[in-house]
Structure 1
Amino acid sequence: MSKPFQKELASFVGKLLRDHFGKGPESVYVSTQGPFLTIYLKNFLSPMESVLFGQGQDVTIEKTRDMMMKALLPEMKAYIQHATGIAYNKFYYDWSLHNKSGIIVGYNRDQLDQLEEITYKGKEAFEKEIDSISHIVQRSPGAIHSYFINSRTLIVIREEILIRLEKELIRQGHDELLVLTKRRLEKEYFHNNNHFETILEAQITDIFVDWDFMHDNGLIIFILNPK
């Protein structure tokens, strides 16, 4: 994806969110690498959301945004596919309300083999920490893959992560409750980990998580500020 189109897509996403939320993000950063498209949003919190956040109504904001994103994603996907010819199979998204930031990630599973799993300093130790936290919260993943999309964005794919109880909740239609609960629990553990920054030699400014329950996988996105 060319730099001009990345700017064009950033402008489109900013306007789309502004039209539907009443206030768009102050900054939108678009990056692509292999099967991934990342859209990082900064200073994105509407006046009404700010009031709710101040009252501790985080869940209300997340529920509303989830409903809004389900309505907006088809238009976003169609725009990207028309402009690039790339059809992303799945879009993940999450918010960091205290940082007024958010992430949208397009993922094309069919192109995963085009992205070499390049070794980076601390990769083995980093993935071991991911496995350890996953084991505490739910279970050790069947597989863990991590990729640097750029110097500030590290994406982790976890496969085969759902336990039987979670699968049953999904079967009974409790996906939303499961996502909200897992987001809060997992991010608490990830943010409280004392080893990630030492291993990566970078300050972690944001952590986002989301899942594809149908294919039993999940993404973790680390936004870094290299030291």
Structure 2
Amino acid sequence: MVEIKVLEKETAGVIGKVLRDNFGKGPGNVVCSLSDSVLVAFITNFASPVELSLMNIQQNLFVEKTRDLLMSTLKEEMKTFMALKMRYEVKEFYYDWNLESHSGMLIFIFNKEAVQDGTYPEQDQLHGIISEISHKAEKVPDEIQSKKLTPKHLLVTRDGILVSIEKELISLGFEETLLLAKRRLEKRLIEEHMDVIEQKLGAKVMDFFIAWNFTEDKSYILFVLQQNAKAK
């Protein structure tokens, strides 16, 4: 356990430095949580003065596009570091930001078999809510899985969510436009269902993030929960 905590702290320090070196300002805090084959980094107080100025004049979309561009250049560097640190290949890497709250997340999924169960009460009911949200945004997923990585982190995986028109847009090179649109739409739908989500989880959702893998037609939703706090 001590070794894992040291590893999480060292990894958080490196992630903070990489973000600071490339974005001009580092995050206020980075908290890493390692669970089996998944490492989650929760980032807070992350917004440069330039980004804040752009957001003040309603240019959030430009900030999103700039961050996407920078993260695409950092992807391999971060995957290489994590592979060396964890001694496992990074199979998947995702990120997302909530600009209004100046927060973000990174997810590293390693090529390693998970051994922990991760089930939790009301799991099937939450899957039903996620299925309803997905149906409103695109279609009911072919499969939904979820796992409590830690008491504070719940990861939901959706497979088979893209409809034909979305696949066609991707093939035509409009992946970035589709990503920006889906971020807004699905986050809005999740916010609309937040009361019932918190009720089923029995916990307040402090933050949540969404990422997509268009190539494999899958999506991840990460809920950051407040421990020992019942939802209203």
> So what's the TM-score if we normalise by structure 1?
0.95
Number of the residue aligned with 1:25: 27
State the secondary structure of the residue aligned to 2:157. Answer: strand
Does the 8 Å CA contact 2:118/2:149 hold for their aligned counterparts? no
Q: Matches of 1:204 and 1:96 in 2, distance apart? A: 14
Does the 8 Å CA contact 1:117/1:145 hold for their aligned counterparts? no
* AA partner of residue 219 (structure 1): Y
Number of the residue aligned with 1:48: 50
Q: CA deviation at 1:55?
A: 1.2
- Which segments of structure 1 move beyond 6 Å, counting only runs of 4 or more? none
Number of the residue aligned with 2:93: 91
How many residues in Structure 1 have an aligned counterpart in Structure 2? 225
State the secondary structure of the residue aligned to 1:215. Answer: coil
State the secondary structure of the residue aligned to 1:141. Answer: coil
- Unaligned 5+ segments in structure 2 are none
1:17-68, Cα deviation, whole Å (9 max, x unpaired): 0011111111101111122111110100111111111111111111000000
Does the 8 Å CA contact 2:23/2:48 hold for their aligned counterparts? yes
Q: Matches of 1:160 and 1:14 in 2, distance apart? A: 33
Number of the residue aligned with 1:71: 73
> So what's the TM-score if we normalise by structure 2?
0.93
State the secondary structure of the residue aligned to 1:158. Answer: strand
**Identical columns (%):** 36
Q: CA deviation at 1:115?
A: 4.2
State the secondary structure of the residue aligned to 2:146. Answer: strand
Number of the residue aligned with 1:101: 103
2:226 pairs with 1:225: yes
CA RMSD of aligned residues (A): 1.3
State the secondary structure of the residue aligned to 2:90. Answer: coil
Number of the residue aligned with 2:174: 174
Number of the residue aligned with 1:37: 39
* AA partner of residue 158 (structure 2): R
Q: Matches of 1:159 and 1:131 in 2, distance apart? A: 11
Q: Matches of 1:34 and 1:202 in 2, distance apart? A: 23
Q: Matches of 1:61 and 1:126 in 2, distance apart? A: 32
Does the 8 Å CA contact 1:133/1:189 hold for their aligned counterparts? yes
* AA partner of residue 14 (structure 2): F
Does the 8 Å CA contact 2:32/2:41 hold for their aligned counterparts? yes
2:4 pairs with 1:2: yes
1:192-219, Cα deviation, whole Å (9 max, x unpaired): 1130011111111111111111111000
Distance 1:143 1:117, change over 3 A: farther
Does the 8 Å CA contact 1:117/1:146 hold for their aligned counterparts? no
* AA partner of residue 207 (structure 2): D
Does the 8 Å CA contact 1:96/1:208 hold for their aligned counterparts? yes
Q: CA deviation at 1:131?
A: 0.4
